[in-house]
Amino acid sequence: MILAIQLLLSLAILVVLHEFGHFAPAKLFKTRVEKFYLFFDPWFHLVEKKIGETRYGIGWLPLGGYVKIAGMVDESMDKEQLKQPPQPWEFRSKPAWQRLIIMLGGVTVNFLLGFLIFGLVFWAYGEKYLRMSDARHGIAVADSLGHRIGFEDGDILLSLGQTSVEEFKPGDLEKAIVIHDVRTVRVLRNGIPLELQVPDDMANAIAAARKRAPLIDLRMPFVLAQTVPGKPAAEAGLLPGDSIVGADSFRYAYYHELTRYFQSKKGQEIRLSVVRGTDTLSLPVRVSDEGKIGVAAKTLDAFYPLQRREYGFFSAMSHGVGNSIDLLGAYLKSFSQLFKGRVKAQDSLGGFASIAKMFPEQWHWESFWRVTATLSLILGFMNLLPIPALDGGHVVFLLYEMVSGKKPSDRVLEIAQIIGLVLVLGLVVVANGLDIWRWIQSYF
């Protein structure tokens, strides 16, 4: 529910502001805007109010939103209006340069919004980071793909390709392999530097895995922050501050090892070795059918000295722009990996469920705004693709008109719009269908 609420709120913000990016220049150039809608409204709407010449409303289908600009071939396919002589307040009567500005308004707002949100996040929250030299427990190999690369628990990252690792950031390894085509990783293992070779198919394997968690994370001791009343741990007598150091006859010192063991003992009783003060206790605990014992463990900052970069307003804005440009560059590179065949489209494509999983499972404003900024940049990028029915498709026709001096006929625009709508709707269906298929596979 929290993921769904975050997704809907984020999409509402982005859709309204994207459409306002079309609305504002249209009004500036005295072009009539007939409708301004959040979400689509086939057959009926939830809310609608007419103000002046424009009907503002909320539809019931949360797949986006739209502004209906008079005299424009758009998704409404209003052919009757186009049969009438052009009126001075219609889109088709405006000079090409004005129509181009109107069409580019949405993506311009998306890019500027991404820059602004990232800048404000850096200004308000700063930027937490951990120096790799302070990661004294080393990494935890959280996924079998990490083992395929050759990582072992306790390794310390030295470099990804030719780039030295000064700070540990979850997800940097996947980004380096999938986007930047990194094929070597250097680690320090028991004081000895080693070079690991990344398998050629690893980029596609990472994309196909669809994991929320990174391949590697930091090793952390399992120290309880709190227990949940009525759950197995509380009933067994575990207390906040206890350190779990083993289970049954095995000695497990770290969080990821113990949670993995709990998953293997669903519905069974195990005996935990617990350090409390100077005492070591042996407590019987029944693992739930979900593979949990009902505790919250202490987080990263309890074991590692996290650093924080503080930014003034202008430096934060500058950093926000730089961060956004880096993200867009990475997104472009990920597209190139698709064309090179290193990543399969069906593995990297996802629908609304995949987008929702970008948000944290618990409400956290900093994370919400970071994801929203990222989605804003992605929305701007996707809308610039030269596909009819998207802003980029309209821009292509306008650029053709400005260069050639010839305006495409309404019939050509109608056919292109239909083709584009079929492509876009087909992509939406396939993307969400893949999410459903992955959900089915996870249960069977």
Mean pLDDT over residues 201-228, rounded?
A: 80
Between 316 and 422, the higher pLDDT residue: 316
Mean pLDDT over residues 63-82, rounded?
A: 74
Between 91 and 75, the higher pLDDT residue: 91
The band of 390, judged by pLDDT with boundaries at 50, 70 and 90, is: confident
Between 436 and 67, the higher pLDDT residue: 67
The band of 40, judged by pLDDT with boundaries at 50, 70 and 90, is: confident
What share of the chain has pLDDT > 70, as a percent? 91
Looking at the DSSP bridge assignments, the partners of residue 107 are: none
Between 150 and 346, the higher pLDDT residue: 150
How far apart (Å, rounded) are the C-alpha atoms in residues 256 and 152? Answer: 13
So what's the pLDDT on residue 380? Answer: 92
Mean pLDDT over residues 8-17, rounded?
A: 92
What share of the chain has pLDDT > 90, as a percent? 43
So what's the pLDDT on residue 443? Answer: 57
CA-atom Rg of the chain in angstroms: 27
In this model, does residue 73 exceed pLDDT 80? no
So what's the pLDDT on residue 347? Answer: 59
How far apart (Å, rounded) are the C-alpha atoms in residues 187 and 190? Answer: 10
The 10 Å CB-count burial string (b at 16+, else e) for 66-100 is bbbbbbbbbbeeeeebbeeeeeeebbbebebebbb
Q: What angle do CA 93, 95, 100 make, to 5 degrees?
A: 110
The 3-class SS string of 218-261 reads ECCEEEEEEECCCCHHHHHCCCCCCEEEEECCEECCEHHHHHHH
How far apart (Å, rounded) are the C-alpha atoms in residues 245 and 280? Answer: 9
So what's the pLDDT on residue 241? Answer: 93
The band of 409, judged by pLDDT with boundaries at 50, 70 and 90, is: confident
Mean pLDDT over residues 4-9, rounded?
A: 88
Residue whose structure tokens are 């504002």 = 24
In this model, does residue 229 exceed pLDDT 80? yes
The band of 360, judged by pLDDT with boundaries at 50, 70 and 90, is: confident
Mean pLDDT over residues 42-67, rounded?
A: 88
The band of 10, judged by pLDDT with boundaries at 50, 70 and 90, is: very high
In this model, does residue 209 exceed pLDDT 80? no
So what's the pLDDT on residue 251? Answer: 86
Mean pLDDT over residues 183-208, rounded?
A: 88
- Read off the tokens for 145: 């793909």
Between 343 and 202, the higher pLDDT residue: 202
How far apart (Å, rounded) are the C-alpha atoms in residues 56 and 425? Answer: 24
The band of 212, judged by pLDDT with boundaries at 50, 70 and 90, is: low
Mean pLDDT over residues 256-275, rounded?
A: 92
Range name among 216-225, 263-272, 401-410 with the lowest pLDDT average: 401-410
The 10 Å CB-count burial string (b at 16+, else e) for 297-323 is bbeeeebbeeeeeebeeeebbebbbeb
- Read off the tokens for 259: 């949670």
So what's the pLDDT on residue 413? Answer: 80
Half-sphere exposure of 416 (CA within 13 A, CB side): 20
Q: How far is CA 62 from CA 48, 141, 207, in A?
A: 16, 38, 27
So what's the pLDDT on residue 262? Answer: 92
- Read off the tokens for 209: 């895995």
Mean pLDDT over residues 251-270, rounded?
A: 90
How far apart (Å, rounded) are the C-alpha atoms in residues 295 and 340? Answer: 45
Q: What is the DSSP string of 366-387?
A: HHHHHHHHHHHHHHHHHHTSS-
Top mean pLDDT of 318-322, 326-330, 384-388 is at 318-322
So what's the pLDDT on residue 76? Answer: 59
User: What average pLDDT does the structure give for the chain?
Assistant: 86
Yes or no: say if 181 and 145 are a contact pair by the CB < 8 Å rule.
no
* All residues at 6 or more sequence positions from 95 whose CB lies less than 8 Å from its CB, including other chains: none
